């Protein structure tokens, strides 16, 4: 239990929680020195590695924000969750599962080696590594990248109430520097996994990674996933339950790159990170420990561009682990 919050549903709860989170963010901010920004994408290398912010939105409307909360950043690999959701909604779950698996790899997110080493690669391992995500981008319906991404923007607009934009500078930086993703794309093309033109597929993928959002946006989307696709603010089903649950399972097992197992063990919530430093985390409703906050579920958005060796926000993960343990957010 959080010390000093014996009855969290009192009028002073939000103030108490805010003070605790402010202290925790202040403490974990110094851990940003242990990581490095993603300089292999030149524009991302310009981020301030000392930034750290968190936004927590409960299904009941309780909201806590702390640290660097007003910074926009590009969604990067977090977009893989949503392109997958859109593909399942438009093409059907069975169609997508026939073409992209749901198994963890234990390899880096941009690995090519695991594609070659599997004796008979029937399909990419999962949609949250680059090979799987590029394959999913090729499945999105449309003849151009803008047509392919329109349903993704519509999904964001439906949840957030506004249409995010692509950061053109980041898109161009990724497009001009992502030789590894082009190599993966050519391998997928050679092996017959792509369903659309390679250049259009890669353009779609680079653009979806360059969509600009905030931690408040991630927290809001997280509440929808926490409630199995239903927006708790409106009661509307935005994402089919089966798709939402499948996506959360993938986030738990594959969402934090090759550190997903440790994150599941020590934090215990579905999450997806991106190399810009963003993390979306989801804590579904739980029935135990009614004295703790956010028992009705919550979405969490984190931003901390200093990354660890796996490409995850180093201070963000440590902050999430602390909060999850203090408030018993784990799904286990």
The whole-angstrom separation of Cα 112 and Cα 174 is: 18
Nearby residues of 41 by Cβ (< 8 Å), 6 or more positions away: 170, 173, 174, 177, 178, 275
CA 219-154-123 angle, to 5 degrees, is 85
171 dihedral zone (left: phi>0; alpha: psi -120 to 50; beta)? alpha
Select which of 257, 267, 276, 313 is catalytic. 257
Residue 20 designated active-site: no
To which H or E segment does residue 283 belong?
A: strand 278-283
DSSP letters spanning 101-150: -----SS-TT-SHHHHHSTT--S-S-TTSHHHHHHHHHHSSSSSHHHHHH
The stretches of the chain forming alpha helices (DSSP H) are: 13-29, 79-91, 93-97, 113-117, 130-139, 145-160, 168-177, 179-190, 198-209, 215-226, 241-254, 260-266, 314-327
Query: Backbone phi, then psi, for 214, in 5-degree steps?
Result: -130, 170
Distance CA 251, CA 269 (A): 9
CA dist 50 and 196 (Å) reads 40
Q: How far is CA 195 from CA 182, 203, 214, in A?
A: 16, 14, 32
Q: Which of 20, 28, 84, 205 is catalytic?
A: 205
Query: Which of 49, 80, 148, 272 does the annotation list as catalytic?
Result: 80
Tokens for 275, please give them. 């190399």
275 is catalytic: yes
Among 86, 136, 267, 275, which one carries the catalytic annotation?
A: 275
Pair 150, 142: CB distance under 8 Å: yes
Does residue 80 have an active-site annotation?
yes
Q: Name the residue with tokens 């590594």.
A: 129
The catalytic residue among 59, 77, 210, 283 is 77
329 neighbors 297 (Cβ within 8 angstroms): no
Active site residue ranges: 77, 80, 205, 257, 275
């Amino acid at each position: 239990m959080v010390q000093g919050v014996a009855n969290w549903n009192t009028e002073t709860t939000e103030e108490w929680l805010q003070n605790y989170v402010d202290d925790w963010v202040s403490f974990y901010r110094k851990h940003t020195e242990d990581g490095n920004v993603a300089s292999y994408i030149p524009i991302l290398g310009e981020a301030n590695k000392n930034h750290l912010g968190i936004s927590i939105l409960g299904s009941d409307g309780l909201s806590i924000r702390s640290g660097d909360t007003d910074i926009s950043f590009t969604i990067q690999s977090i977009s893989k969750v949503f392109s997958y959701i859109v593909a399942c909604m438009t093409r059907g779950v069975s169609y997508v599962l026939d073409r992209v698996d749901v198994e963890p790899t234990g390899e880096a997110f941009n690995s090519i080696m695991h594609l070659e080493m599997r004796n008979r690669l029937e399909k990419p391992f999962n949609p949250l590594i680059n090979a799987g995500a590029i394959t999913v981008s090729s499945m999105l319906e449309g003849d151009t990248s803008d047509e392919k991404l329109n349903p993704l923007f519509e999904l964001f607009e439906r949840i957030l109430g506004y249409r995010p934009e692509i950061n053109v500078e980041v898109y161009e930086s990724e497009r001009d520097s992502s030789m590894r993703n082009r190599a993966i794309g050519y391998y997928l093309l050679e092996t017959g996994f792509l369903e659309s033109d390679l250049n259009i597929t890669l353009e779609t993928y680079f653009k979806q990674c360059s969509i600009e959002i905030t931690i408040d946006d991630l927290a809001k989307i997280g509440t929808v996933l926490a409630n199995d696709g239903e927006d708790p603010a409106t009661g509307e089903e935005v994402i089919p339950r089966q798709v939402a649950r499948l996506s959360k399972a993938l986030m738990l097992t594959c969402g934090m790159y090759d550190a997903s197992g440790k994150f599941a063990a020590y934090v215990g919530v579905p999450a997806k990170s991106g190399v810009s430093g963003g993390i979306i985390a989801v804590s579904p409703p739980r029935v135990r420990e009614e004295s703790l906050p956010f028992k009705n579920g919550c979405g969490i958005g984190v931003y901390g561009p200093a990354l660890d060796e796996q490409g995850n926000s180093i201070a963000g993960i440590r902050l999430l682990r602390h909060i999850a343990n203090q408030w018993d957010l784990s799904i286990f």
